[in-house]
Amino acid sequence: MIDISLTVNGERVSACVLPRTHLVDFLREELCLTGAHLGCEHGVCGACTVRLDGEIVRGCLVLAVQADGSVVETVEGLSDSGEIADLQQAFIDRNALQCGFCTPGMLIASQDLLKAGGVPSREEIREHLSGNYCRCTGYHAIVDAVEATAKAREAAR
Amino acid sequence: MSTLSPVDLPNSYIGRSVARPGLARLTQGRGEYVSDLALPRMLQVVFLRSPYAHAEIVAIDTSDALKMPGVVRIVTGRELAEHCTPWVGVLTHLKGLKSAPQHALAVDHVQWQGEPVVAILARSRAEAEDASDRVYVEYREIDPVVEMFSAAEPGATPIHADLGDNIAFERRLDAGDVDAAAAASDHVISQRFVFGRHTGVTLEARSIVADWNRAEQRLTVHLGNQAPHMIQNIVAKHLALEEQQVRVLTHDVGGSFGIKVHIYPDEMAVCALARMLGRPVKFFADRLESFVSDIHARDHVLDGRIGVKNDGTITFFEIDDITGIGPFSVYPRTSAVEANQVVNLTGGNYAVPNYRARTRVVFQNKTPTCQYRAVGHPIACSVTEGLVDLAARAIGMDVVEIRRRNLVPDDAYPCSGPSGIRFEALSHQASLEKLLQMMDLPALHADQEEARRRGVHRGIGFASFIEITNPGPAFYGVGGAKISSQDGATVKLDASGAVTVQSSISEQGQGSAAIIAQVTATALGVPLARVRVILGDTDNTPYGGGTWASRGAGIGGEAAFQAGRALRDNILKLAGTILQADPTSLDIRAGSVVDEVDGRERLPLSELARIAYFRPDTLPADFQSELMATRHFVPREYGFAFTNGIQASYLEVDTETGFIRLLKHWVVEDCGQPINPQLVDEQVRGGVVQGLGAALFEQCRYDDQGQMINANMADYLVPMAGEMPDIEVGHIITPTKESAIGAKGAGEAGTAGAAACVANAVNDALAPFGVVITEIPLTPEVVLNALRHV
């Protein structure tokens, strides 16, 4: 067992973990932050996407011990801070989620693109989100929601 | 019933694109999926699965594994069989369908790679996985039966010796006079069509938590599933419990598409294990085992024939279908339904009475197949529409023109298809014309010509389709399966004047809760925000079928509408008593009782509820208010509400690499009265992309030993955002007269026709090369092989 200390959604967390524990399992099972989902557990589907020191990572490809000393943000944290409130509302307005299982990862990946500023083209949005699988929507509505958010943010700039 | 149509009612939410309730929760990561669930004293179970497609189990040694940290119990098939009886997946109306008894854990024999053999229970999933490496199973391999044509040969070794052969089911149909029609044709074209085996890949894998309470003698099953009452019935039956000893809750479901509507042996094992141990047991499939344990679908090969006259008249359709379903017919819906649907649906959109069909459903040692979104539809549609394009090509007729000439005319209804399926009212011709308006065909043709001059090969493809929705008991009930085809709704006005609806349909993201809320709010005349919906709990909903076969809105929605109207009548009776007014002079609008004529507010529902619940002493002694109403509904006149539509694809084929780039996709569909047009559009789009996955990428690839060789998400390709086109959706609205709301289903239309129009577009693009491809998925390898570049 290894001691780790990290900041999760603004709270300092100290824990003792098995070296093999994945970050996403640590978040879900130890911290009960179940917004990051397990879709494939081999780094393909993007359902476990979280932010680690500002960069998006797959929680199933990062070990909890690798997050020692880091800042981790999950969909719960981004929701509580209000950082993605407009994007979440755009997803709701556009019905850009059906079962919702991919949605936390999809939102975090979308925000990663939107943070760069400007209004990305639909092709750029599609490309950026190609590491996040959605089996329900067919992606069109997701692209619409991200595009609408980009335009609204640009207009408010 | 009101003389106003539902859409004309004041404050109607029918036909309005309002946001679904509960979405904020899901966007904030506050969904409650079964995979999130953790109960006190819960154990995790991991299944050791067969590495072989076909083998005898010689011995199982669990002694080392039992010493591993955290391990609580290890259970083999023999032990589990004492707690869970086996089942046989047959239905009596599919005459001749046979299958073998299937156990929750394999007993003595394994029949496919991935069949669960041993259950390892531990405090954590990781510990159970560690221990599973120390369970030693000795197998004696048996030659697997893999390829379906050889499996069907007379004299082939039967997988189940008791059954005599590997033919699970065979059906023949002969309508009109195909031979005479062929003789009268100017051209008869034959073509083989191949459909790969694929699977649903729900983003949340199957997950279940079962909890046996010894004190209450009751099993609570938390299961991401579409049909909770079906699960209740079957779990009770095979665990020797009364149905009321079993409660099933679905929670949020992370995608289903037909994957989570079947009985899975590992899930039955979890229920039995929970009862054996007297504590909660959780199973959450990992993605690798999902690929070999979730049901697969399709895997058909059809030889098709079409006859055509030089004037464009299609004279007949003929198909000879074969499909491999794995070693068992899946319980309880069976694995013969897809083939049966192919026979029912092929050619059904055309006014062609001459039709001959045969299908053979064959056992083999692969993962079992069963009903997945648009059961049989993509196959029937691809064969029909592929043959129509070939007929057009044979006579040099435009592919739109041949459809115009042969699609069933919009004024021909009611009528029947050549297989005997009955159509109440469809709109093939109007849908075709609407599609042409949307896509600007002359501009596309010009673009195609211009690209051709640059050596770029673009193609346009069309696919008209019919879709089975709102099924009555003809699917399962008449065959003896206890799968309800009726649904119910209970609508309650609470003491604050708010409304709760309990419905027997279920939610997997398509918007079931929204639909129920919208029709209820409309029927009652209350603001949508005042309606709460409860789904997916056998203890707290009326008895019903659930959500599958595009039935939720059309059947469950109508039940909720009727329950809402019944409660409205009760409320108006009470209001009439309170106000000393004739109830027929009153209406409910925006949550208040009003004068019907001038809309003047008379009594808010909150005040009416206050009187009913807290001051009934102020009401006449002989009056009892009833502020809760229940109604059930099942369509009676038609066995199914057929819908129709048409799709088109514009794409580009790289003749050097074989890659296909989708440029644009259009759909016109007619689901009757849309309750929520946005949700209909998104069902169509999502369905199209699942169909495009099957058309281009998705395939469960097997070697000749029955080993699935791409059983992971990196090698089994599903559509990604970057590869998918924008999808334009249009509608024709032909309501069904079977119900007041007039809704038919919309969940499978997209999947039904997507692959067919892509294949036709590829063949249009490759027309200069004289190439015809009728195999999906249309991988680069398939395209290049056809172009003989490989």
Same domain for B622 and B769, yes or no, is no
Point out the domain boundary residue: B293, B311, B345: B293
So what's the pLDDT on residue B11? 73
Domain limits at B212? 34-142+205-253+259-293
Alpha carbons B699 and B712: distance in angstroms, whole number:
11
With residue A23 as reference, give the H or E element that holds it.
helix A23-25
Asked, for residue B449, whether it belongs to a domain, the answer is: yes
Same domain for B584 and B607, yes or no, is yes
Asked, for residue B93, whether it belongs to a domain, the answer is: yes
Residue B245 is encoded by which pair of tokens? 């000893």
So what's the pLDDT on residue B620? 97
Min CA distance, A151 vs chain B (Å)? Answer: 19
**B165-168, Cβ contacts within 8 angstroms, sequence gap of 24 or more:** B166/B362, B166/B363, B166/B364, B167/B360, B167/B361, B167/B362, B167/B363, B168/B97, B168/B98, B168/B99, B168/B325, B168/B329, B168/B335, B168/B336, B168/B361, B168/B362, B168/B363
Average pLDDT value for chain B: 97
Q: Is the Cβ pair B284, A75 closer than 8 Å? A: no
So what's the pLDDT on residue B788? 86
Q: What is the pLDDT of residues A61-80, one digit of tens each?
A: 999 999 999 999 999 999 99
Residues B120-147: what's their mean pLDDT? 97
Q: Which residue of B has its CA nearest to A142?
A: B721
Asked, for residue B336, whether it belongs to a domain, the answer is: no
Same domain for B766 and B652, yes or no, is yes
Point out the domain boundary residue: B569, B604, B633: B633
* pLDDT band at B715; cut points 50, 70, 90: very high
Name every residue whose Cβ is closer than 8 Å to that of residue B71 and which is 6 or more positions away in sequence: B65, B120, B121, B122, B127, B128, B131
Q: Is the Cβ pair B203, A47 closer than 8 Å? A: yes
Look up the ipTM and state it.
0.98
Across the interface, of A42, A75, A99, the residue whose CB is closest to B509 is A99
Asked, for residue B518, whether it belongs to a domain, the answer is: yes
Name every residue whose Cβ is closer than 8 Å to that of residue B254 and which is 6 or more positions away in sequence: A37, A99, A100, A101, B33, B35, B202, B203, B204, B224
So what's the pLDDT on residue B3? 46
Residues B313-319: what's their mean pLDDT? 98
Q: Are B262 and B331 in contact (CB under 8 A)?
A: yes
Q: What is the pLDDT of residues A97-122, one digit of tens each?
A: 999 999 999 999 999 999 999 999 99
Same domain for B740 and B682, yes or no, is yes
So what's the pLDDT on residue B9? 60
Torsion of CA B219, B220, B221, B227, to 10 degrees: 100
Min CA distance, B729 vs chain A (Å)? Answer: 11
Same domain for B521 and B605, yes or no, is yes
So what's the pLDDT on residue B142? 97
Q: What is the pLDDT of residues B496-511, one digit of tens each?
A: 999 999 999 999 999 9
Torsion of CA B62, B64, B69, B75, to 10 degrees: 0
Question: For residue B223, what is the domain's CATH number?
Answer: 3.90.1170.50
Residue B204 has pLDDT above 60, yes or no: yes
Same domain for B597 and B702, yes or no, is no
Asked, for residue B458, whether it belongs to a domain, the answer is: yes
Asked, for residue B364, whether it belongs to a domain, the answer is: no
So what's the pLDDT on residue B1? 37
Q: What is the secondary structure of B363-421 as a DSSP string? A: --SS--B---SSTTHHHHHHHHHHHHHHHHHHHT--HHHHHHHHBPPTTS-SEE-TTS-
Q: What is the secondary structure of B197-230 as a DSSP string? A: EEE---SSPPEEEEEEETTTTEEEEEE--S-HHH
So what's the pLDDT on residue B5? 55
Q: In chain A, what residues touch B23 (CB-CB under 8 Å)?
A: 91-92, 95, 97, 100
Same domain for B694 and B727, yes or no, is yes
Residue B284 has pLDDT above 60, yes or no: yes
- The structural domain count of chain B equals 3
Question: For residue B622, what is the domain's CATH number?
Answer: 3.30.365.10
Same domain for B690 and B770, yes or no, is yes
Residues B537-566: what's their mean pLDDT? 97
Asked, for residue B14, whether it belongs to a domain, the answer is: yes
Residues B109-135: what's their mean pLDDT? 98
Which among B17, B20, B28 is the top mutation candidate for probing chain A, defined by the most A β-carbons within 10 Å of its own β-carbon?
A: B28
Asked, for residue B153, whether it belongs to a domain, the answer is: no
Same domain for B649 and B660, yes or no, is yes
Residues B207-211: what's their mean pLDDT? 98
Amino acid identity of residue A157, one-letter, is: R
Q: Are B392 and B399 in contact (CB under 8 A)?
A: yes
Point out the domain boundary residue: B633, B658, B688: B633
Same domain for B672 and B607, yes or no, is no
Residue B190 has pLDDT above 60, yes or no: yes
Min CA distance, B188 vs chain A (Å)? Answer: 38
Q: What is the pLDDT of residues B431-480, one digit of tens each?
A: 999 999 999 999 999 999 999 999 999 999 999 999 999 999 988 999 99
Q: Catalogue all structural domains in chain A, each as residue range(s) with its CATH number.
A: 2-78 (3.10.20.30), 84-150 (1.10.150.120)
Closest listed residue to residue A139, CA positions, set B696, B689, B747, B374 = B689
So what's the pLDDT on residue B586? 98
Q: Is the Cβ pair B726, A140 closer than 8 Å? A: yes
Across the interface, of A42, A88, A141, the residue whose CB is closest to B28 is A88
- Phi, psi torsion values for B82, nearest 5 degrees: -75, -10
Q: In chain B, what residues touch A18 (CB-CB under 8 Å)?
A: 126
Residue B692 is encoded by which pair of tokens? 């495009």
Q: Are A39 and B204 in contact (CB under 8 A)?
A: yes
Q: Are B618 and B449 in contact (CB under 8 A)?
A: no
Min CA distance, A16 vs chain B (Å)? Answer: 16
Same domain for B457 and B537, yes or no, is no
Residues B236-244: what's their mean pLDDT? 98
Torsion of CA B330, B241, B272, B253, to 10 degrees: 60
Alpha carbons B762 and B650: distance in angstroms, whole number:
9
Q: Which residue of A has its CA nearest to B201?
A: A135
Residue B598 has pLDDT above 80, yes or no: yes
Angle in degrees, CA B525, B13, A144, rounded to 5: 155
Q: Which residue of B has its CA nearest to A137?
A: B686
Q: Is the Cβ pair B257, A143 closer than 8 Å? A: no
Same domain for B668 and B621, yes or no, is no
Min CA distance, B478 vs chain A (Å)? Answer: 32
Q: Is the Cβ pair B719, A97 closer than 8 Å? A: no
Q: What is the pLDDT of residues B744-771, one digit of tens each?
A: 999 999 999 999 999 999 999 999 999 9
What are the Cα distances from residue A47, in Å, to A37, A57, A108, B189, B716? Answer: 5, 11, 10, 47, 17
Q: Is the Cβ pair B286, A41 closer than 8 Å? A: yes
